[in-house]
Amino acid sequence: MVDIELARIAGGSLAQGRPRRSVAVDDFELGVFPVTQEVVAELLGEPVSRPRVPATGLSWLRAIRLCNAASEWEGLDSAYSFDGEDVTWHRDADGYRLPTEAEWEFACRAGSTGAHYGPLREIAWTSADGVSSPRPVGHRLPNLNGLFDTLGNVWEWCWDLFDADAGGAERVLRGGSVAVSPLSVRADLRRGAAARRGGSDIGMRLARGAS
């Protein structure tokens, strides 16, 4: 049985970007862990090799479809509809979705203002740990929101366009991964990737609720 554990994130404001601007974040829910292989296996009826390891190789488009699959599994309204590769977000739906970039950073920081919410070696898997692939979730310390692995282990897709002001089509990835330097594992660091692109260190985390 799929177990998608969510933490309730109380809304607030976030100083985001450069130059800094204040962004309001409403109450929402976010996955305690990145989506694991066992969750994907249950949703899609696929075999699983490492159940508690984050599901990787996920393009943004596949992540969107997994959100809808999780919603269907629980009898919720799908948050997204498709016209080819054009995706529409139905914000009044009660189903699962990707977090916005502001939601992700706000939840990751959990009230902290620095690059990390704790000593990196205690909270995140990075290249400094000398491992070659993502690690099982929940083996490093959580933040004050009770979220594990928001920094390190796998990059996580967000809803937003990476460079919307310039008309870019790439989508935002956040959090860093086991494959990158500790210098690239920061609460404020952002990266863009094509919606069709997956990767061995790219995963996702489910959200629900207002945005």
DSSP string, 86-146: EEEE-TT--S-BPPPHHHHHHHHHTT--SS-SS-HHHH---GGG--SSPPPTTSS---TTS
CATH of the domain at 63: 3.90.1580.10
Name the amino acid, one letter, at 72.
E
CA 176, chain centre distance (Å): 11
Does a structural domain hold residue 147? Answer: yes
> pLDDT, tens digit, for every residue of 174-209?
999 999 999 999 999 999 999 999 999 999 999 999
Residue 18 in domain: yes
Residue 18 pLDDT > 90: no
Question: Is residue 43 over pLDDT 70?
Answer: yes
DSSP, collapsed to helix, strand or coil, labels residue 123 as helix
For range 151-158, the mean pLDDT: 98
What pLDDT is stored for residue 20 in this prediction?
A: 80
Q: Is residue 1 part of a domain?
A: no
Q: Does residue 15 form part of some domain?
A: yes
Bridge partners of residue 35, in order along the sequence: none
Q: How many domains does the chain have?
A: 1
The contacts of residue 75 (CB under 8 Å, 6+ apart) are none
Using 50, 70 and 90 to split pLDDT, how confident is the model at 99?
very high
So what's the pLDDT on residue 211?
A: 74
| 52 within a domain of the structure (yes/no) | yes
So what's the pLDDT on residue 145? 98
Q: What is the pLDDT of residue 29?
A: 98
Q: Mention every residue, 6+ apart, whose C-beta is less than 8 A from residue 94.
A: 76, 77, 208
* pLDDT range class, residue 1, cuts 50, 70, 90: low
**Domain hosting residue 110, numbered range:** 6-208
User: pLDDT tier at 10 (50, 70, 90 boundaries)?
Assistant: very high
pLDDT confidence band for 17 (50 / 70 / 90): confident
